[in-house]
């Protein structure tokens, strides 16, 4: 009974304190002030758990094809390289100014788990985007085949040299048509 | 609300959807088309090219499609995955094709360098 009384006071008090803090405008909202460690951990955990749950039933098709690399490479260069970089470029104005900092997808060793999970994760993120991170949802304007082609390219990207990247991403009209 | 006014408001979201779909059509991106720079492939050892590797197959497809050299014509219709780089005939044709690609690149290079230079090589690119 005592615990119920304590909770009855503590919960409304905590809720009021949170509401007062939100309403006060004291939280620094600028992208140039990083989150507190605990806030960052909470948001990151929320994001990763949500993506893991939402992407678990995605069936990964065969993506080991040169045509998919060519289609996905050109799209990556047009839509993603500005924030997620490319071989030979370690940072740019976007990666310096954006918060959270977009991951460098051209750098090896960014895996979050086994390859199959990583592939499903990439597909889900490209298709649905991530709230309040600057990552848009490409699903409304790009069909699944086109998104899988981008995923196919992402799987190979960390191994590519600058020269290979240039060849695979050049849009000279010879890349295979999307279906 | 008048009927015409109502129609304008209803057609506005449709127009925006159409515009966004058009912007993401690959054909739209081709306006900024850039030719693949395949010159570095000339330095590669043809016999060691792994034609089972999708990256190598993709580069071969891209470079052969863009090549204007006469010796490359025969190879354009071949499936890179089925090319046997240890076969002397394939190896010889490929070598000739790459040599011509290199020669053409060397001819084009002075023209390209006169249009400016790529300043992203320092590992820091600027977006404005």
Q: Is the pLDDT of residue B14 over 60?
A: no
Using 50, 70 and 90 to split pLDDT, how confident is the model at A174?
Answer: low
Best of A167, A176, A179 to disrupt the B interface by mutation (most B CBs within 10 Å)? Answer: A167
Give me the torsion for CA of A148, A71, A131, A125, rounded to 10°: 20
Which B residues 53-112 touch A at CB under 8 Å? Answer: 54-55, 57-63, 65-66, 80-81
pLDDT digits (tens, 9 = 90+) for A115-159: 889 999 999 999 999 999 999 999 999 999 999 999 999 999 999
Give A123: exposed, middle or buried? Use CB within 10 Å, 0-12, 13-18, 19+. Answer: buried
* Residues of chain B contacting A167 with CB distance shorter than 8 Å: 36-38, 41, 58-59, 62-63
Beta bridge partners of B125: A92
Cα(B19)–Cα(B14) distance, rounded to whole angstroms?
A: 9
The pLDDT of residue B117 is 43
pLDDT digits (tens, 9 = 90+) for B95-115: 788 777 777 767 766 655 554
Contact assignment for A66 to B81 by CB distance below 8 Å = yes
pLDDT digits (tens, 9 = 90+) for A55-100: 999 999 999 999 999 999 999 999 999 999 999 999 999 999 999 9
Q: At what angle do helices A144-156 and A115-128 cross, to 10 degrees?
A: 130
Whether chain B has a CB inside 8 Å of the CB on A155: the answer is no
Contact assignment for A142 to B24 by CB distance below 8 Å = yes
Contact assignment for A168 to B58 by CB distance below 8 Å = yes
Q: Is the pLDDT of residue A162 over 90?
A: yes
Percentage of chain A modeled with pLDDT above 90: 88
Q: How far is CA B35 from CA A52, B8, B104, B106, B112, in A?
A: 39, 43, 13, 14, 12
Distance (Å) from the alpha carbon of B24 to chain A's nearest alpha carbon? 7
Q: Are B128 and B106 in contact (CB under 8 A)?
A: no
H-state helical runs in B24-117: 26-29, 54-66, 73-76, 88-113
Using 50, 70 and 90 to split pLDDT, how confident is the model at B87?
Answer: confident
């Amino acid at each position: 009974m005592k615990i119920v009384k304590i909770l009855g006071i503590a919960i409304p008090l905590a809720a009021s304190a949170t509401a007062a803090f939100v309403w006060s405008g004291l939280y620094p909202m600028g992208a140039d002030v990083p989150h507190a460690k605990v806030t960052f951990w909470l948001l990151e955990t929320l994001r990763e758990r949500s993506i893991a749950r939402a992407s678990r039933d995605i069936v990964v098709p065969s993506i080991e094809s040169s045509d998919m690399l060519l289609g996905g490479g050109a799209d990556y260069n047009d839509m993603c390289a500005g924030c997620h970089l490319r071989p030979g470029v370690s940072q740019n104005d976007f990666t310096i100014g954006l918060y959270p900092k977009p991951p460098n997808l051209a750098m090896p060793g960014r895996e979050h788990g086994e390859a199959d999970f990583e592939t499903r994760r990439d597909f889900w993120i490209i298709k649905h985007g991530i709230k309040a991170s600057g990552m848009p949802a490409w699903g409304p304007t790009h069909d699944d085949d086109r998104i899988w082609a981008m995923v196919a390219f992402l799987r190979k990207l960390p191994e590519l040299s600058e020269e290979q990247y240039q060849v695979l991403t050049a849009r000279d009209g010879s890349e295979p048509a999307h279906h | 609300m008048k009927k015409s006014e109502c129609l304008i408001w209803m057609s506005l979201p449709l127009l925006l959807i159409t515009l966004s779909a058009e912007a993401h059509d690959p054909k739209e991106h081709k306006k900024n088309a850039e030719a693949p720079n395949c010159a570095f492939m000339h330095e590669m050892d043809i016999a060691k090219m792994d034609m089972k590797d999708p990256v190598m197959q993709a580069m071969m497809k891209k470079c052969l499609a863009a090549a204007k050299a006469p010796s490359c014509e025969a190879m354009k219709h071949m499936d890179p995955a089925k090319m046997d780089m240890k076969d002397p005939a394939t190896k010889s044709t490929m070598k000739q094709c790459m040599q011509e690609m290199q020669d053409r690149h060397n001819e084009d290079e002075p023209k390209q360098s006169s249009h400016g230079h790529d300043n992203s090589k320092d590992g820091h690119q600027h977006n404005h």
